[in-house]
């Protein structure tokens, strides 16, 4: 196996930074659309062979150092009883939002059987990878999943979620505790099925104040990580807002903190406890630029991180759908040729 990614996740010295990119099996690839035009998004997630096909696209076409399972962060909310759908151009919707104590009480936490398709997909993907590179599993963090369940869809201001947190904190905590239980079980299901690492995505954490992040996000991520069967499985913690929240995130004891593009990565790394690696943190918008500009920005990041153990190259968030495929390929090829 190409162990560069795992070595860096365990804070070992590597000859170059390993590279993978969030949303690397996504809409910027024509080959993704060839599949997407035949099936709904949830069909793609729930059919192990199709999920494996999509997972393998960046492995075959880009040559990245780690694959990440093709799925969605909201499948836990669906398994608990959410009526989930995806509409082109609109995104995810829950037709039965969770806004009252009764709504929360109706959610099911014994729902792993509803997620067996993910374990099945992992087994198919690992057969296809055949030990070539590691496979990353993932889940949505409780606050982010809660925000979709409460709002019923994506939100710009998270008004309903914050009203629940501030007016009825006991209801919010009951909901978060349920999501955290399911999330830990779900990640352990993925580990048992054969993933080599896991990442927790708190995509909307930047909506929270420092105190609210501690109370309504961090404590549940800490609980999830404490309940993982993580022997030999590095745990990556990501949130939009990690440039601010990294000191708190570190206390949950992840192996890697994935950092958004608003921070100097070396400053974050050196402020973290020894043994916590960093992942990131190129602004994905740079991949729209001309290739010499892309090269310049990657080199700046690599020079800044020179000599640091535990550095995985990634973006500060996911690839946008209209980024040119050739630019992504150029960036990955350049990184793979780089040597310190």
Residue 16 in marked binding region: no
Q: For the chain, how many structural domains are there in total?
A: 1
pTM to 2 decimals?
0.98
Residue 27 in marked binding region: yes
**So what's the pLDDT on residue 89?**
82
Joined together, the tokens standing for residue 65 give 């150092």
**So what's the pLDDT on residue 135?**
98
**So what's the pLDDT on residue 1?**
95
Low-confidence ranges of the chain (pLDDT < 70): none
**So what's the pLDDT on residue 90?**
87
Distance between CA 315 and CA 119 in Å, rounded?
A: 27
Residue 148 in marked binding region: yes
Distance between CA 283 and CA 220 in Å, rounded?
A: 28
Residue 72 in marked binding region: yes
Q: What is the CATH number of the domain that holds 231?
A: 3.20.20.210
Residue 203 in marked binding region: yes
String of DSSP letters for 28-68: T-HHHHHHHTTS-HHHHHH-HHHHHHHHHHHHHHT--S-EE
Residue 25 in marked binding region: yes
**So what's the pLDDT on residue 222?**
98
């Amino acid at each position: 196996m190409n162990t560069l990614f795992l070595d860096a996740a365990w804070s070992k010295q590597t000859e170059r930074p390993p590279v993978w990119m969030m949303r690397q099996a996504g809409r910027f690839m024509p080959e993704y659309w060839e599949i997407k035009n035949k099936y709904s998004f949830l069909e793609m997630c729930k059919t192990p062979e199709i999920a494996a096909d999509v997972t393998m696209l960046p492995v075959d076409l880009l040559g990245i150092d780690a694959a990440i399972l093709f799925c969605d962060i909201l499948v836990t909310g669906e398994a608990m009883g959410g009526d989930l759908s995806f509409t082109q151009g609109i995104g995810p919707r829950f037709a039965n939002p969770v806004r009252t104590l009764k709504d929360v009480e109706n959610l099911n936490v014994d729902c792993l059987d509803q997620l067996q398709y993910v374990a099945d997909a992992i087994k198919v993907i690992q057969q296809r990878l055949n030990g070539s590179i590691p496979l990353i599993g993932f889940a949505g963090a409780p606050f982010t999943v809660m925000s979709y369940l409460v709002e019923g869809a994506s939100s710009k201001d998270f008004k309903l979620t914050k009203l629940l947190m501030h007016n009825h904190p006991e209801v919010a905590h009951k909901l978060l505790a349920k999501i955290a239980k399911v999330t830990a079980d779900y990640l352990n299901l993925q580990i048992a099925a054969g993933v080599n690492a896991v990442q927790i995505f708190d995509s909307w954490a930047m909506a929270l104040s420092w105190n609210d992040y501690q109370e309504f996000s961090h404590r549940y991520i800490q609980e999830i990580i404490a309940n993982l069967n993580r022997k030999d499985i590095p745990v990556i913690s990501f949130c939009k807002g990690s440039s601010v929240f990294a000191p708190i995130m570190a206390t949950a004891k992840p192996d890697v903190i994935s950092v958004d593009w608003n921070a100097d990565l070396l400053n974050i790394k050196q402020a973290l406890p020894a043994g916590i690696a960093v992942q990131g943190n190129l602004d994905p918008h740079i991949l729209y630029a001309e290739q010499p500009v892309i090269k310049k920005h990657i080199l700046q990041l690599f020079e800044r991180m020179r000599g640091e153990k535990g550095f995985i190259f990634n973006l500060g968030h996911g690839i946008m759908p209209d980024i040119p495929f050739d630019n992504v390929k150029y960036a990955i090829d350049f990184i793979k040729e780089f040597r310190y």
